[in-house]
Amino acid sequence: MRSYSLIAPAKINLYLEIIGSRADGYHELAMILQSIDLSDQIDIQTASTENIRIYCNHPQVPTDKTNLVYKAAELMAKEFPQAFSNFGGVDITIKKNIPVAAGLAGGSTNAAAVLVGIDLLWDLGLTQSELEELGANLGSDVPFCIGGGTAIATGRGEKLSPLQSLDNLHIVLAKYRSLEVSTPWAYKTYRQQFGINYVQDADTFATRASAFHSEAMVKAILHRNTEEIAQKIHNDLEKVVLPAYPQVLQLRELFANQKEVLGTMMSGSGPSVFAIVESQNQGEIVKQRIREAIPDQDLELFVTRTIKHGIKIG
């Protein structure tokens, strides 16, 4: 029986701009994605049957066909039927550390780990680009999660341009366990409120994506200017999520009022909020202050850092 253990890092958005509506119904986006050290562990091994079986230590994570992890394994079986026939099904155990439904790509990074793990188990020898192409069939964040690090993402998020890795930027992260924000709701609401300003044609999408590569946020990352990065972080979805979710707004305001915090923002469609600080020690100070201000045990707080990798063997 063959097995692998893989580390699956979460990601945050350092920048998220909604450019317009695509013909396929998705939004055209310009984003900067960043891996962080907060990670799940995915253990995957060959099984003696043709079944795909999922186990998880978190009660909110489904272990049936609705889990993106299952869909990733199912996709590999479909794409590589001979290997599936040779090696059989897989048993997948998810050890969850990334908060669930947090806007941190927890499901996507787990699916990415399964693609990498099955590639190893079945001796497929796929390239990173080939794995990313497969991942795009599962979700917009999956391709990024495979290689991770720091990257510009355009299209619906699947077109990636790696940047110089921004590792060891210190982050404080907060998320209410019981609070979820629907990603489809967030984008639909944004379209309803701000769609009048959308770019409408594909040529302009391409021009905007090209221009984004030379903008101030990208330059700040290339120069590793922490203060400039913290000042340039941006998320269009805050315009609809913060008014509708006062707990998320409160977290953002609390972070903003801490003198150690260089910048703060909601990640993705929320409800996680993160703050950039200068050091691990400052992160611990800010975490403690937020805990004192909101003693609710439903609130999860983490001090983490940016990293330069995606999925890796544990």
Q: CB-side exposure of 190: number of CA atoms within 13 Å? A: 26
Does the active-site annotation cover 141?
yes
**11: annotated active-site residue:** yes
Is 151 assigned to a binding site?
Answer: no
Alpha helical stretches, state H, 66-215: 68-79, 81-87, 106-121, 128-135, 142-147, 183-194, 202-212
Catalytic-role residue among 40, 91, 119, 141 = 141
108 assigned binding-site residue: yes
Q: Is 109 annotated as a binding residue?
A: yes
Q: Is 103 annotated as a binding residue?
A: yes
**DSSP string of 240-297?**
HHHHH-HHHHHHHHHHHT-TT-SEEEE-TTSS-EEEEESSHHHHHHHHHHHHHH---T
* Residue 155 annotated as binding site: no
283 is in an annotated binding site: no
206 is in an annotated binding site: no
Instruction: Check whether 93 is labelled as a binding-site residue.
Output: no
Per the listing, tokens 């958005």 go with 13
Of 238, 224, 300, 289, the residue nearest 260 (C-alpha): 289
99 is in an annotated binding site: yes
Residue 170's H or E segment, with its range, is strand 170-176
Would the annotation count 107 as a binding residue? yes
Q: What is the dihedral angle through the alpha carbons of 122, 127, 133, 136, rounded to the nearest 10 degrees?
A: 70
Q: Is 218 annotated as a binding residue?
A: no
Which residue in 11, 71, 232, 287 is the catalytic one?
Answer: 11
Choose among 128, 184, 157, 148: nearest CA to 11: 148
User: Would you name the residues annotated as active-site residues?
Assistant: 11, 141
Q: Residues within the annotated binding site?
A: 99-109
Q: Residues within the annotated binding site for ATP?
A: 99-109
